[in-house]
């Protein structure tokens, strides 16, 4: 590792909105790593242990910012990730960036399709016949996403109607599995905010549940909980 890389701060990203735990870390000077573990309902108990092992050989003092997937997703997992990220940000006195789960999916799609600038509509199952949705527009240089439709919840028929009358060309992406693998995208999106000088205080990192948390406990099985 060069002197420049040694002195460069790292970013750490967490993705806990599904039964999988995703972690990513990098200094954006050529060093980056990520991994995913299927921990089911053990995320809360094992998160700290996995974090401590994952950041090695770096230490907590090497971190310059924290990124976390803020949802939508499972209520319990999303809350665990947000709490962990806020706690680390507070203790280390570094920024915490809460990144949309849907935006991370769109970013991953954008990264894998070259210079195609067609809008990306992301759809994720929700409760009671509804879907979480968001529409994002890649910028020409592929270094940014514009939000055309902020994350929200639609009944399936209303969403289909929305897409039918959408005013630009788009690609529909169904976010149904392997979402924790987009933790690298969570890290990259947060990094762009960080280098632009945005200083997101830990208390500003809030979850996006989309539907009332009570619904997750009483409304049946959620796809990602």
Q: Are residues 57 and 89 in the same domain?
A: yes
Q: Are residues 185 and 145 in the same domain?
A: no
Tokens of 107: 């970013």
Q: Which residues contact 106 (CB under 8 A, 6 or more apart)?
A: 120, 122, 134, 136, 145, 173
Per-residue pLDDT of the chain (225 residues; tens, 9 = 90+): 333 434 589 999 999 999 999 999 999 998 999 999 999 889 989 999 999 999 999 999 999 999 999 999 999 999 999 999 999 999 999 999 999 999 999 999 998 877 778 999 999 999 888 999 999 999 866 578 999 999 999 999 999 999 999 999 999 999 988 899 999 999 999 999 999 888 788 989 999 998 765 444 333 334 444
Q: Are residues 58 and 140 in the same domain?
A: no
> So what's the pLDDT on residue 137?
94
Q: Are residues 76 and 21 in the same domain?
A: yes
Distances (CA, A) of 41 to 34, 38, 77, 81: 21, 9, 9, 13
Q: Which residues contact 122 (CB under 8 A, 6 or more apart)?
A: 102, 103, 105, 106, 133, 134, 135, 136, 173, 175
The range of the structural domain enclosing residue 10 comes to: 3-100+178-218
Reduced to 3 states, what is the DSSP secondary structure of residue 174?
strand
Q: Are residues 73 and 28 in the same domain?
A: yes
Q: Are residues 186 and 86 in the same domain?
A: yes
- Residues 39, 217: Cα–Cα separation, whole Å: 20
- Give the CA diameter of the chain: 56
195 found inside a domain: yes
Question: Which of 17, 84, 26 minimizes the C-alpha distance to 50?
Answer: 84
Phi, psi of 82 (to 5 degrees): -65, -45
> So what's the pLDDT on residue 207?
95
Q: Which residues contact 152 (CB under 8 A, 6 or more apart)?
A: 132, 133, 134, 210
> So what's the pLDDT on residue 142?
59
Phi, psi of 68 (to 5 degrees): -145, 140
CATH of the domain at 146: 3.30.420.200
Q: Are residues 157 and 119 in the same domain?
A: yes
- Residues 207, 122: Cα–Cα separation, whole Å: 18
* Cβ count within 10 A of residue 147: 14
CATH of the domain at 60: 3.30.420.40
> So what's the pLDDT on residue 220?
38
- Residues 130, 23: Cα–Cα separation, whole Å: 29
Q: Are residues 11 and 91 in the same domain?
A: yes
- Residues 66, 13: Cα–Cα separation, whole Å: 6
77 found inside a domain: yes
Q: Are residues 204 and 96 in the same domain?
A: yes
Phi, psi of 76 (to 5 degrees): -65, -50
Q: Are residues 141 and 170 in the same domain?
A: yes
């Amino acid at each position: 590792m060069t002197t420049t890389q040694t002195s460069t701060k790292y970013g750490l990203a967490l993705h806990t909105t599904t039964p999988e735990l995703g972690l990513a870390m990098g200094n954006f000077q050529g060093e980056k790593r990520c991994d995913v573990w299927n921990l089911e309902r053990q995320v809360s108990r094992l998160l700290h242990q996995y974090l401590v092992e994952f950041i090695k050989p770096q230490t907590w003092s090497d971190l310059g910012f924290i990124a976390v997937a803020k949802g939508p997703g499972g209520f319990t997992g999303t809350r665990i990730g947000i709490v962990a990220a806020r706690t680390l940000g507070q203790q280390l006195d570094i920024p915490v960036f809460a990144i949309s789960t849907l935006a991370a999916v769109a970013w991953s799609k954008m990264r894998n399709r070259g210079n195609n600038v067609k809008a990306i509509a992301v759809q994720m199952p929700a409760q009671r016949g509804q879907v979480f949705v968001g529409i994002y527009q890649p910028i020409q240089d592929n270094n940014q996403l514009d939000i055309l439709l902020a994350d929200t919840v639609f009944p399936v028929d209303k969403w289909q109607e929305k897409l039918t009358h959408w005013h630009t060309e788009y690609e529909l992406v169904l976010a149904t599995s392997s979402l924790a693998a987009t933790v690298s995208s969570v890290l990259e999106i947060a990094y762009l905010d960080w280098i632009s000088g945005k200083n997101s205080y830990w208390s500003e990192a809030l979850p996006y549940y989309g539907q009332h948390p009570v619904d997750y406990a009483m409304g049946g099985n959620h796809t990602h909980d």
